[in-house]
């Protein structure tokens, strides 16, 4: 596999402070560490058209000259822009020693051009600066970088920019890496991708999980929640660290409490890490370490470079199927001899519905039996989905569950509108709104593993199945009882 480090550059005319070049030392360090080639890319926002042969021909600058200028002047201006930008790329390339370097000048929309360039490479990593200064306002952490991170088919390394570029005498080693993990399959698969990008040689990994304040969750007592979250985070990180250590990696871990953004930044400063590696999408687990929220905030405050990775669907599927939990179990030989099983804590009997039941049927069952979820089964009684209160309007249609549970809240709504709501509930089937696939457990599984899975997928209830048929339900409340007994 041939890896290519792609570095978007802007040029001194639009980037007089050299903000984009802030990414170069990190990009070159990554290339040397992984024996990769370097591709310097610059995108001119020029209008282009397709010729009869399929070639693209440059028309003129998108930020064109004033209307008073002649067409000839505009053409000359465009040609000069192209020549200057190409010369700039060649000067930067000539300054890089001991690495294979190529340059590429692209035209059109910057983010689209970068994404197209990356899609044509075998194993690219895009390395770009994060903060804008004057003329560099679009190429950095704005619309362009956001779209690149969101849509790139490859990892993106965001380097916090400085006010001016002053190349360090030595490149960063990229050895001390901080990896925030939230217990999700996404975050752990991102860890695998990080190891692929950086290589495992000389890596010193530090894992951190942040237990967020209770204010973001309902139905928990503060002490109970904190105890449960810390216990599961500890078991999870112990298992991950054990597997990494078996591969010969140096690894340590810790649990913090508070704001994920603030805690991750503090750990990065305290440990003087070279890099923070994070997943780029999804919202699950007992943290939310994602671009657009925590990662974007970290980039804004000038933390170490952020390696934002997008795990492949295959790796996510493998993790979500329970492989991650099984690995934690295999590393859990040091747990107490007495292992509590799911069969000891699950709730029975199971109240379920078939797939053609209406939303109205489901709501009335949930209220009648005071339950928070209803498994959906096929004609043979096998589990095919699950419905919780949030699913009643989770796909953009349906009826708020409050219309059934607390109809008095709708006293100001006309009788006609109320009837329309309930008629909608009678017309929508369980099949249309149910969640699938369903995260499940078996009766003989250890409670600790199912608890970790519950946090991993950010669910409050897990059906227990036997040969595909639901035989019980495990809830977070059931798990709390193990830590804080009744009475």
Of 1-15, 28-42, 59-73, 365-379, the one with minimum mean pLDDT is: 59-73
Q: Which of 132-136, 174-178, 459-463 is predicted most confidently? A: 174-178
Alpha-carbon torsion 168, 173, 179, 185, what sign?
positive
Structure tokens at 218: 């309902």
* Both structure tokens of 123: 């194993």
Whether the per-residue pLDDT at 334 is higher than 50: the answer is no
Alpha carbon distances (Å) from 422 to 372, 418, 425, 426: 20, 6, 5, 6
Quote the CA–CA distance of 448 and 430 in Å, as a whole number. Answer: 31
Domain with CATH 3.40.50.620 in the chain: 3-159, 176-330
Q: What is the pLDDT of residues 99-114, one digit of tens each?
A: 999 999 998 888 889 9
What mean pLDDT do residues 232-259 have? 90
Please give the helix or strand (H or E) that residue 278 lies within, else none.
Answer: strand 275-279
According to the model, what pLDDT value does residue 319 have? 56
The yes-or-no verdict on residue 175 having pLDDT over 50 is: yes
274: which residues sit within 8 A by CB, 6+ positions away?
172, 173, 174, 175, 176, 177, 304, 305
Q: Where in the chain is the domain with CATH 3.10.580.10?
A: 342-483
Which range, of 87-91, 349-353, 460-464, 482-486, averages the lowest pLDDT?
482-486
Query: Per the omega criterion (within 30 degrees of 0), is the bond before 349 cis?
Result: yes
Integer distance in angstroms from the first to the last C-alpha of the chain? 61
pLDDT digits (tens, 9 = 90+) for 425-456: 888 888 988 988 899 999 888 777 787 778 76
**Residue 404: predicted pLDDT:** 78
Hunting for tokens 């096929």 — which residue is that?
378
Give the alpha-carbon dihedral of 176, 177, 180, 181, to 10 degrees. -110
Instruction: Centre a 10 Å sphere on the Cβ of residue 456 and count the other Cβ atoms it contains.
Output: 27
User: If you average pLDDT over each of 26-30, 229-233, 317-321, 452-456, which comes out highest?
Assistant: 26-30
Neighbours of 193 (CB within 10 A): 19
Q: Kindly report the CA angle at 117 between 111 and 123, in degrees rounded to 5?
A: 120
399 within 8 A of 393, measured Cβ to Cβ: yes
Q: Which tokens sit at 107?
A: 């035209």
Q: What is the mean pLDDT of residues 233-258?
A: 90
Confidence band of 486 (pLDDT split at 50, 70, 90):
very low
CATH T-level fold of 342-483: CBS-domain (3.10.580)
The closest of 390, 383, 394, 344 to 366, measured between CA atoms, is 390
DSSP H helical segments within 59-169, as ranges?
A: 71-94, 110-119, 143-151
Q: Which residue has the higher pLDDT, 289 or 17?
A: 17
Per the CB < 8 A criterion, the answer to whether 276 and 298 are in contact is yes
Contact 158, 149 (CB under 8 A): yes
Query: Which CATH homologous superfamily contains domain 176-330?
Result: HUPs (3.40.50.620)
- According to DSSP, the residues that pair with 353 across neighbouring strands are 376
**What confidence score (pLDDT) does residue 409 get?**
59
Give me the mean pLDDT over the 324-347 stretch.
55
Give the global pTM: 0.63
pLDDT the model gives residue 214: 54
Assigned token pair, 152: 């790139």
| 155-164, 374-383, 404-413: least confident range | 404-413
Strand ranges inside 176-274, DSSP E: 176-180, 204-211, 250-257
> What is the tens place of the pLDDT at every residue in 109-151?
888 899 999 999 999 999 998 754 444 434 444 557 777 887 8
Distance CA 454, CA 450 (A): 6
Pick the closest to residue 211 from 144, 265, 285 (CA basis). Answer: 285
Integer CA distances (angstroms), 303 to 159, 198, 276, 277, 318, in order? 9, 19, 8, 12, 32
Question: Is 333 a residue whose pLDDT tops 50?
Answer: no
- C-alpha 272/C-alpha 161 separation (Å) is 18
State mean pLDDT over 303-310. Answer: 86
Give the tens place of pLDDT for each residue, 47-87. Answer: 555 455 555 555 545 444 455 456 677 778 788 889 999 99
Quote the mean pLDDT of the chain.
Answer: 77
Specify the CATH superfamily of domain 3-159: HUPs (3.40.50.620)
Mean pLDDT of 398-422: 73
User: What is the rounded distance in angstroms from the CA atom of residue 315 to the CA atom of residue 128?
Assistant: 26
**pLDDT band per the 50, 70, 90 thresholds, residue 370:** confident
Q: Give 427-465 as a DSSP string.
A: HSBHHHH-B-SPP-B-TTSBHHHHHHHHHHTT-SEEEEE
- What phi, psi does 437 have (nearest 5°)? -70, 165
């Amino acid at each position: 596999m041939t890896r290519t480090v792609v570095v978007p550059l802007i040029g001194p005319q639009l980037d007089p402070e050299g903000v984009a070049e802030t990414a170069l030392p990190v990009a070159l360090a990554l290339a040397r560490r992984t024996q990769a080639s370097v591709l310097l890319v610059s995108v001119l926002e020029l209008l282009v058209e397709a010729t009869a042969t399929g070639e693209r021909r440059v028309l003129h600058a998108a930020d064109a000259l004033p209307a008073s200028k002649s067409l000839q002047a505009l053409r000359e201006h465009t040609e000069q822009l192209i020549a200057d930008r190409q010369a700039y790329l060649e000067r930067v390339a000539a300054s890089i020693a001991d690495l294979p370097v190529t340059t590429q000048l692209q035209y059109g929309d910057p983010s689209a051009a970068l994404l197209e360039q990356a899609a044509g490479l075998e194993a690219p990593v895009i390395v770009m600066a994060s903060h804008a200064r004057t003329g560099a306002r679009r190429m950095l952490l704005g619309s362009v970088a956001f779209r690149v991170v969101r849509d790139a088919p490859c990892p993106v390394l965001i380097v916090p920019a400085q006010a001016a570029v002053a190349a360090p005498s030595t490149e960063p080693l990229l050895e001390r890496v901080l990896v925030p993990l939230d217990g999700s399959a996404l975050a752990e698969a991102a860890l695998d991708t990080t190891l692929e990008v950086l290589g495992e040689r000389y890596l010193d990994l530090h894992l951190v999980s942040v237990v967020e304040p209770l204010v973001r969750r309902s139905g928990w007592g503060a002490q109970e929640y904190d105890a449960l979250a810390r216990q599961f985070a500890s078991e999870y990180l112990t298992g991950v660290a054990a597997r990494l250590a078996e591969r010969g990696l140096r690894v340590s871990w810790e649990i913090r409490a508070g704001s994920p953004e603030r805690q991750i930044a503090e750990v990065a400063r305290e440990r003087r890490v070279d890099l923070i590696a994070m997943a780029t999408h999804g919202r699950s687990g007992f943290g939310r370490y994602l671009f657009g929220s925590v990662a974007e905030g970290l980039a804004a405050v000038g933390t170490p470079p952020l390696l934002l990775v997008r795990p492949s669907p295959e790796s996510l599927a493998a993790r979500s199927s329970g492989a991650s939990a099984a690995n934690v179990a295999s590393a859990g030989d040091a747990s107490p001899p007495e292992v509590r099983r799911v069969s000891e804590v699950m709730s029975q009997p199971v109240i379920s519905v078939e797939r053609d039941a209406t939303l109205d049927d489901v709501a009335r069952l949930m209220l009648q039996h005071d339950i928070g979820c209803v498994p959906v089964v096929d004609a043979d009684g096998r589990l095919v989905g699950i419905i919780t209160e949030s699913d009643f309007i989770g796909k953009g249609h349906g009826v708020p569950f409050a219309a059934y549970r607390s109809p008095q809240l709708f006293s100001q709504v006309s009788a006609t509108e109320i009837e329309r709501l309930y008629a909608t509930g009678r017309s929508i089937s369980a099949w249309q709104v149910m969640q699938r696939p369903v995260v499940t457990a078996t009766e003989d599984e250890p409670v600790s593993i199912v608890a970790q899975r519950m946090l991993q997928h950010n669910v409050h209830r897990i059906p227990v199945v036997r040969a595909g048929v639901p035989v019980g339900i495990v809830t977070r409340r059931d798990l709390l009882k193990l830590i804080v007994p009744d009475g």
